[in-house]
Amino acid sequence: MKGIVFTEFLELVEEKFGLEMVDDIITASELESGGAYTAVGTYKFSEMVQLLTHLSERTQLSVDDLLYTYALHFFKVIQRSYPGLLNTYSDPLELIASIENHIHVEVRKIYPDAQLPVFKIVKRSENTLILDYLSSRAMYSFGLGLMHESFNYFNKNFKIDFEKIKEDGTYVRFFIVNTDENSKSG
Ligand code: HEM
């Protein structure tokens, strides 16, 4: 997992819960990195799992809720760091449908060792998208938050439901609808 995911996560933890919490969850974890992350480094996903688990225990918030909130923050990072990539699109459904074949392809050019999920389009119509998420990291709540922010970015109304196809969250189906008044149904 890329260092930027760790550095931004710990920044958000500091902002929401304070520096003591950051120290606390790092100390409670067994981290090969020692908890010293640089944005350009690459670290084991198991370190993120430990940090999330310890934060979840201390805040009584579920790991999924924490990942969702983190995604809202991470979208701002994406906006700041890769505005050109977002502005290739004018429509959130088009953007979300293009993660697999364009956006994450570009991400992999920047970070060849990035660990990215697989998105498979199941069904696409003008205002709807059924999208399967597959990843051993089970970060579908992170994906959900990024999808919500994609709609907010374009000021579009939406409804997103999901269904776990595998209970552990490694395979999740998203049902995404653009409910904007100006949109035609279908
Ligand atoms: C992971 C970049 C848009 C879903 C990541 C990572 C980066 C990244 C750097 C971390 C990779 C690693 O740690 O090795 C971007 C950029 C985007 C973008 C630059 C837009 C310009 C999106 C959108 C979604 C999404 C719109 C919505 C579904 C995910 C998920 C992960 C991820 C779920 C976590 C990894 C996993 O589940 O296996 N992305 N992303 N990304 N991205 Fe994107």
Q: 32 CA to middle of ligand 1, Å?
A: 24
Regarding the beta carbon of 1 and ligand 1, being less than 6 Å apart is answered yes
pLDDT single digits (tens) 128-164: 999 999 999 999 999 999 999 999 999 999 999 999 9
**Which pLDDT belongs to residue 183?**
55
Strands 128-134 and 171-178: antiparallel
Asked if the interface predicted TM-score (ipTM) of this complex is over 0.90, the answer is yes
* CA–CA–CA angle 107, 113, 115 (5° rounding): 75
Low-confidence residues of the chain: pLDDT under 50: 186
Q: Model-level pTM?
A: 0.95
Regarding the beta carbon of 89 and ligand 1, being less than 6 Å apart is answered no
- How far is the C-alpha of 39 from the C-alpha of 3, rounded, in Å? 4
**Which pLDDT belongs to residue 182?**
61
The one-letter code for the residue type at 71 is A
Tell which residue, 17, 18, 35, has the closest CA to residue 26.
35
Pick the atom of ligand 1 nearest to 139's CA: 37
**Which pLDDT belongs to residue 38?**
96
State how far Cα 140 lies from the chain centre.
Answer: 7
Cβ atoms 26, 35 nearer than 8 A: yes
| Alpha-carbon separation of residue 85 from 53, 155, 163 (angstroms) | 32, 18, 29
Nearest alpha carbon, ligand 1 atom 14 = 114
**Which pLDDT belongs to residue 181?**
67
